[in-house]
Amino acid sequence: MNPANAAFHRPSDDEILASGEYPLTRRDLNEIAAMIYSDAGIALNDSKASLVYSRLSKHIRNLGLGGFRAYCALVSSPEGAHERREMLSHLTTNFTRFFRENHHFEHLRDEVLPGLIARAKAGGRVRIWSAASSDGQEPYSIALTVFQAFPNVLDYDFKILATDIDPKILAIARQGAYDEQALETVSPTIRKQWFKEVEIGGRRKFQVDDRLKRLITYNELNLMSQWPFKGKFDVIFCRNVVIYFDEPTQMRIWSRFADLLPEGGYLYIGHSERVSGDAKAYFDNTGITTYRFVGKTGGRKP
């Protein structure tokens, strides 16, 4: 590029990246992206302009603001702390379904649970973490898999922790009531045994059995923050989340997961994700997006 023309080709902060009721400029997107990255580690670029516009424009209208400039000023101010959390809720993706990527649940049932059940029956402690639980369909799928293999699991020290950054989606998870469409991937046998048809707010829903709820503890947690865990987890599910982080953040997350797994513990990740960086030496890839922790001290086992 001719240096004399460099300024002409430099992207303008005032360039409109998405238009409609409220134009979204590059300056607006950059400010929103910086806040989301700081708060949640999520990386947004120009390609996400339409998504940001579609997720936030209606909310801006409901707030009675004049556009994205006023909105950015609000959410970046001390007075806008609540709205900044609302922005995170609007921009985080919560697509999920029961038994999504079912090979993980089959592996859990066939390869992992027999050993964990034996330990629990011998008086040991078992913990499974759903690290991005969304509206609860993943942790309830884990619980259903456990109950099918271990019907009296509630009599033992066997728990599932489910966490998510979004308190609104966690409220839905705790309620555990879903539209019939959400149960399309649940077998008729499981549906009949573990879900009860109810009416909530005039809508037909299917409520999970209270035994599933008793096995799961839901807590709000930002993966970018300090994790308040004292013990280790035998199994960690963190699927289709890290893909939204940049590479340095991904590598940091993989390493932090390694710190929380005992040797032989398992990590299940999303179909588009791969363990990367130094953490690759800590895990054996034993199946489709299924990783077994082999320890940090000696590197990869032969």
Q: Residue 6's Cα: distance from chain center in Å?
A: 41
274 a catalytic residue:
no
Cα gap 266→277, rounded to integer Å: 18
Task: State the Rg of the chain over Cα.
Answer: 22
Task: Of 149, 161, 140, give the one whose Cα is nearest residue 106.
Answer: 149
Helix (H, G, I), strand (E, B), or coil: what is residue 208?
strand
55 a catalytic residue:
yes
Task: Of 226, 223, 283, give the one whose Cα is nearest residue 253.
Answer: 223
What is the distance in angstroms between the CA of the first residue and the CA of the last residue of the chain? 50
Cα gap 277→295, rounded to integer Å: 15
For residue 261, give the H/E element and its range. Answer: none
For residue 172, give the H/E element and its range. Answer: helix 167-175
Cα gap 166→134, rounded to integer Å: 8
Q: Which of 55, 69, 84, 85 is catalytic?
A: 55
Q: Which of 28, 135, 164, 234 is catalytic?
A: 164
Task: Of 16, 24, 9, give the one whose Cα is nearest residue 54.
Answer: 24
**In this structure, what token pair is assigned to residue 37?**
């990255």
Q: Is 250 left (phi over 0), alpha (psi -120 to 50) or beta?
A: alpha
Residue 199 buriedness (CB in 10 A; 0-12 / 13-18 / 19+)? exposed
Q: Catalytic residue numbers?
A: 55, 164
